[in-house]
A and B are shown apart, each in its own frame.
Chain A
């Protein structure tokens, strides 16, 4: 392993820029957005040069480390602040800085009218720094710092317009759901330290082979909890839909392309834990399958274009989580889907933002319609992303999603059928709701009021969309040509030694099946949405009603967590005042009552005092006499 002295710039540049823009305040209003974008671009430049450098080396020398300083050292807990750039993290570095820079450019135009644009860019840069720390940390604890850092960035950006109480609540909800996941990560770190005396990836990897299965399963489960929080997976998924309160570029960058995929990174990074514990893998695939169906179902009922895309993100990450649970070969496919998804989903979100920009921030798809003629570039780029997510060959999703479905089937036996079947079903539902989004937005007759004037956005906005659309077309082919990504990641995830899964179906059969079901889903949507009422119809099937209510996730949380918590809090406040402080006040009251009785003896008559003195002397003498006698 080589050392590199440039890794720190990846994090330091955006962090510095963010701090600068926040500290300078209004002074930086004029140039802050340009500065932040340039910084992000230069981080991308550093990323590219690191990638070139890595590519020029071979074998173990591809990975590079940089030790910054000794962070915490107590007893046998030693954690350095040091960075690790290997084949896995470089994928993320390029995705984060690349897509990040595109979204910076897009936001220059999108946030043009906001007087706090500088602050927005400061947050974006802060997010980039935290996310890079997340993927570059060489230990779980360093990762944790980035992990909470992106949580904070997400909180700040969702609540960017926090003068609106709903948005402020959405931000809070996201942070708290993430915090529950963070507890999982911190517990995983604690178990690792107790078991192995180390929290670095290397240290844990070295110890993993000696650990008991129970410990490994516990670590795996806790890591999965962390991943569920960050990646909006079941059962911590409820925050993602509300997180759409943030400005749309944020949804594209954080809640589609990068941050929400951190869970996939975490599980892939911890492959040595999951490889050693089959129970943990079962948990992972279960969560993945539940979420991919859950998200897809929720997506079918959303009229809010951003929430529909958020549900889709949830579902697509479900695919990735599923893939990570499928054993060593799955990791590479998870990462591949993550990268392609980063392109097409970010592109579609930017497209949605462009539509909103042209439609005076309208988000209800029932009030769109027929926008393709007025916003051709947006429509085309969105359409390319749409084809990619559907998995239509030769677009990106075809290479990544079909591989996951195929690998799921290849698990063999009932498990393979269930997992593969669910993934296939998910693909069908995906086709339905994505087609619904496209039809409602771009096709059909216009349903907007005459007051609004939809128009194509400026080049600053459509430029990034075009780049991402090209990614949606080509990334799948490029990443899978000759097993490029699989081979590239092989040293990190050890995929080679466990290829032995028996092939249940030929890849071609899977592809044809998938394509067939996609056509079914898409076709049904096209037929169903030939006419669109402007208000969502009330007399719908029970399933639609359930889907509209997000499968009761919020109601469930409310009844199971929020209500009892509120009651408990009120009860404890009363208890504290009445019982615990009451006991203290009782002591005070008793003392004052006793004093009240004793006070009566002090009546002010000298002769009474004299009598008492005599009695006292008499008793004293009596005692003396008794004792001496």
Chain B
């Protein structure tokens, strides 16, 4: 199988994630879309690692996973807090910066 297909898959996953972030309102869904984008880039990194025949990309993907894990912890905490205070997980409701 052509190795570039992995890249196409990564681009498709990234695009889906990005569109999700832009279109969806629910904070949880947006959050999951961000995870999708991160994993898409992980896929791309691993693929590049395979193409170049060294381990740099795989190492980088591990870093990404760690960061993503941290992000989940912080992000979910924020979302839950917002939900508690506003009874809603819609990002459009939390527009305090407006005006």
* Stretch from B38-46, B47-55, B68-76, B87-95 contacting the other chain: B87-95
Q: Whose C-beta in chain B lies nearest to the C-beta of A611?
A: B22
Q: Whose C-beta in chain B lies nearest to the C-beta of A609?
A: B97
Is residue B80 within 8 Å, beta carbon to beta carbon, of the partner chain? Answer: no
Q: Which B residues touch A611, using CB under 8 A?
A: 22
Q: Name the interface residues of A576-629: CB closer than 8 Å to any CB of B.
A: 602-607, 610-611, 614
User: Is the pair A610, B21 in contact by a Cβ cutoff of 8 Å?
Assistant: yes
User: Is the pair A607, B92 in contact by a Cβ cutoff of 8 Å?
Assistant: yes
Q: Whose C-beta in chain B lies nearest to the C-beta of A614?
A: B18
Q: Which B residues touch A610, using CB under 8 A?
A: 21-22
User: Is the pair B98, A603 in contact by a Cβ cutoff of 8 Å?
Assistant: yes
Counting residue pairs across A and B whose Cβ atoms lie within 8 Å, the total is 30
Of A602, A603, A607, the contact of B21 (CB 8 Å cutoff): A607
Is residue B1 within 8 Å, beta carbon to beta carbon, of the partner chain? Answer: no
User: Is the pair A605, B22 in contact by a Cβ cutoff of 8 Å?
Assistant: no
Q: State the interface size on chain B (CB cutoff 8 A).
A: 14
Is residue B3 within 8 Å, beta carbon to beta carbon, of the partner chain? Answer: no
**Contacts A614-B18, A614-B22; A607 near B91 (Cβ below 8 A):** yes
Q: Whose C-beta in chain A lies nearest to the C-beta of B27?
A: A606
Of A604, A607, A614, the contact of B96 (CB 8 Å cutoff): A604
Q: Whose C-beta in chain A lies nearest to the C-beta of B92?
A: A605
Q: Whose C-beta in chain B lies nearest to the C-beta of A617?
A: B18
User: Is the pair A607, B22 in contact by a Cβ cutoff of 8 Å?
Assistant: yes
Q: Which A residues touch B92, using CB under 8 A?
A: 605-607
Of B18, B25, B30, B97, the contact of A604 (CB 8 Å cutoff): B97
Q: Whose C-beta in chain B lies nearest to the C-beta of A606?
A: B91
Residues 71-86 of chain B: 1 if any A CB is under 8 Å from the residue's CB, otherwise 0? 0000000000000000
* Given A607-B92, A614-B18, 14 additional A-B pairs, CB 8 A: A602-B97, A603-B95, A603-B97, A604-B98, A604-B99, A605-B91, A605-B95, A606-B30, A606-B94, A607-B21, A607-B23, A607-B25, A610-B22, A611-B22
**What are 29 sample pairs from A and B whose C-beta atoms fall under 8 A apart?**
A602-B97, A602-B98, A603-B95, A603-B97, A603-B98, A604-B95, A604-B96, A604-B97, A604-B98, A604-B99, A605-B91, A605-B92, A605-B95, A605-B98, A606-B30, A606-B91, A606-B92, A606-B94, A606-B95, A607-B21, A607-B22, A607-B23, A607-B25, A607-B91, A607-B92, A610-B21, A610-B22, A611-B22, A614-B22
Which residues of B are in contact with A by a Cβ distance under 8 Å? 18, 21-23, 25, 30, 91-92, 94-99
Which residues of A are in contact with B by a Cβ distance under 8 Å? 602-607, 610-611, 614
